[in-house]
């Protein structure tokens, strides 16, 4: 590929963006992969296991991360955001703002000596859903790609007050560069753009105090629970209550939190029924005396093998499904959540005391998608996802710009991967014809 060869720019390096990049790279097409976080992998990298096979998430993802990082046709820009796009199909010019990492990516050996000596502690780790803290210089998780540390500029005392600098003194590879500045890169001759920005979660914009979230320690979101049961998470895979460290015996999973309601989001998040059952199964594998209760409005399991998966949960994993509407969540003197609900089968108002409550919160468009849509000059639909034609699901309102995965609607991993390959094929058509 020569310097002026046609290329594709992909915004977002979750599983969909990675799959699209690998497909295009294997075709011999130059790819620029833009990711706003310090590492690639997106939400899938935070999961313990995937449904309906209960395969290890990182076991599936890690080879793709490594391949994407080393692929000769893929150039990866992390801590980066698209800030300007000009041109049209076949010839876009894109400006990318690359934030300073304060660590040289080509020099860092991922040894961890800098973090070991850093005196600033208590910085929340976004990868562990803010359940674990770290030093001001950190790597999000051990298998992160690129395997490079970064400095939290808001927490670093050297960047803010000009003191310390112990990380630089302790780095044998001389990889620390506290003088780094944000920079703007211009990428020319981009033939097509793929928007694969993924998803965000309702807890990022809504307090959820009605369910006791943020008030009671033992009320957690599904993503937080995912990290709590994961072997690489803050509890090293040993599920315990946050309030007192006691092993839970009863867990309640509350469905449709801020989904399918006039108060918040009117749409169904599509995958909550399945990932809730998966989380209950994984929790049972940690403790086979555990009882799980799923409080649901409707069970929606439309994929291959999904209905059988729910049946397995009921028959083999001690999961009980209660068709209900949740009124509120209180706690008793032991900080055990008390769920007040209407049993829709009997019409009665009931209460249940459990050890942990897990909220299946609504999937929402990634924060900042509105701004990106304005930059790209593409339309969003009424729910603020990327607008597409039902018969051409990867095509946006602007020719030459495609989309895939949860950028356009909530969906599971297999469907995101399939759509990513479809978007890559359409982008390749722009370059190769077809």
Pair 105, 56: CB distance under 8 Å: no
Quote helix, strand, coil % in the chain, to nearest 5: 30, 30, 45
Cα–Cα distance for residue pair 192/187, rounded to 1 Å: 12
Q: Which residue has the tokens 């506290």?
A: 178
pLDDT score, position 2 = 38
Pair 257, 395: CB distance under 8 Å: no
Q: Return the half-sphere exposure (C-beta side, CA atoms, 13 A cut-off) of residue 145.
A: 23
Pair 64, 71: CB distance under 8 Å: no
How, if at all, do strands 219-221 and 7-11 pair?
unpaired
Phi, psi angles (nearest 5°) of residue 350: -130, 170
Phi, psi angles (nearest 5°) of residue 189: 60, 40
* DSSP notation for 206-232: ---GGGTTTTSTTEEEHHHHHHHHSTT
Global pTM? 0.95
Q: What is the pLDDT along the chain (434 residues), one digit of tens a residue?
A: 334 458 999 999 999 999 999 999 999 999 999 999 999 999 999 999 999 999 999 999 999 999 999 999 999 999 999 999 999 999 999 999 999 999 999 999 999 999 999 999 999 999 999 999 999 999 999 889 999 999 999 999 999 999 999 999 999 999 999 999 999 999 999 999 999 999 999 999 999 999 999 999 999 999 999 999 999 999 998 999 999 999 999 999 999 999 999 989 999 999 999 999 999 999 999 999 999 999 999 999 888 889 999 999 999 999 999 999 999 999 999 999 999 999 999 999 999 999 999 999 999 999 999 999 999 999 999 999 999 999 999 999 999 999 999 999 999 999 999 999 999 999 999 998 75
Pair 46, 129: CB distance under 8 Å: yes
Beta strands in 89-182 (DSSP E): 91-98, 123-124, 133-134, 137-138, 150-151
Q: Return the half-sphere exposure (C-beta side, CA atoms, 13 A cut-off) of residue 242.
A: 21
Q: Which domains occur in the chain, in start order?
A: 7-99+182-198+366-432 (3.50.50.60), 113-170 (no CATH), 202-363 (3.50.50.60)
Distance of CA 378 to the CA centre of its chain: 23
Query: Residue 144 corresponds to which tokens in the numbers above?
Result: 């992160």
pLDDT score, position 1 = 37
């Amino acid at each position: 590929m020569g310097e002026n060869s046609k290329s594709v720019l992909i915004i977002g390096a979750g599983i969909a963006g990675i799959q699209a990049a690998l497909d295009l790279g294997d075709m011999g097409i130059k790819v620029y992969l833009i990711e706003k976080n310090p590492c690639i992998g997106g939400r899938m990298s935070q999961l313990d296991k995937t449904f309906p096979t209960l395969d290890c998430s990182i076991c599936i993802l890690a080879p793709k991360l490594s391949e994407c990082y080393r692929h000769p046709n893929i150039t990866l820009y992390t801590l980066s955001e698209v800030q300007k796009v000009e041109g049209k199909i076949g010839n876009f010019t894109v400006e990318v703002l690359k934030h300073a990492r304060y660590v040289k990516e080509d020099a860092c050996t991922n040894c961890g000596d800098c973090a070991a000596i850093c005196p600033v502690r208590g910085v929340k780790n976004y990868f562990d859903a803010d359940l674990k803290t770290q030093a001001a210089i950190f790597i999000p998780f051990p298998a992160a790609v690129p395997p490079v540390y970064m400095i939290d500029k808001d927490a670093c005392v050297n960047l803010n007050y000009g003191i310390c600098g112990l990380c630089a003194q302790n780095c044998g590879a001389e990889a620390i560069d506290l003088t780094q500045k944000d920079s703007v890169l211009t990428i020319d001759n981009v033939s097509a753009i793929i928007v694969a920005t993924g998803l965000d979660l309702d807890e990022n914009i809504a307090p959820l105090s009605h369910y006791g979230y943020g008030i009671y320690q033992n009320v957690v979101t599904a993503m937080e629970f995912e990290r709590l049961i994961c072997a690489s998470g803050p509890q090293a895979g040993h599920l315990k209550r946050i309030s007192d460290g006691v092993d839970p015996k009863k867990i309640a999973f509350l469905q449709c939190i801020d989904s399918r309601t006039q108060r918040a989001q009117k749409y169904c998040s599509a995958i909550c029924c399945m990932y809730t059952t998966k989380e209950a199964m994984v929790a049972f594998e940690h403790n086979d005396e555990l009882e799980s209760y799923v409080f649901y409005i409707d069970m929606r399991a439309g994929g291959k093998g999904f209905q059988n998966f729910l049946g397995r949960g009921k028959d083999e994993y001690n999961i009980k499904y209660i068709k209900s509407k949740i009124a509120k969540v209180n706690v008793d003197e032991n900080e055990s959540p008390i769920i007040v609900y209407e049993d829709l089968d009997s019409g009665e108002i009931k209460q249940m005391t459990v050890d942990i409550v897990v909220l299946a919160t609504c999937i929402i468009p990634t924060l900042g998608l509105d701004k990106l849509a304005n930059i790209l000059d593409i339309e969003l639909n009424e729910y603020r996802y990327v607008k597409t034609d039902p018969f051409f699901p990867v095509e946006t309102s602007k020719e030459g710009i495609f989309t895939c995965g949860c950028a356009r609607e909530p969906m599971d991993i297999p469907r995101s991967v399939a759509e990513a390959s479809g978007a890559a094929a359409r982008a390749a058509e722009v370059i190769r014809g077809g």
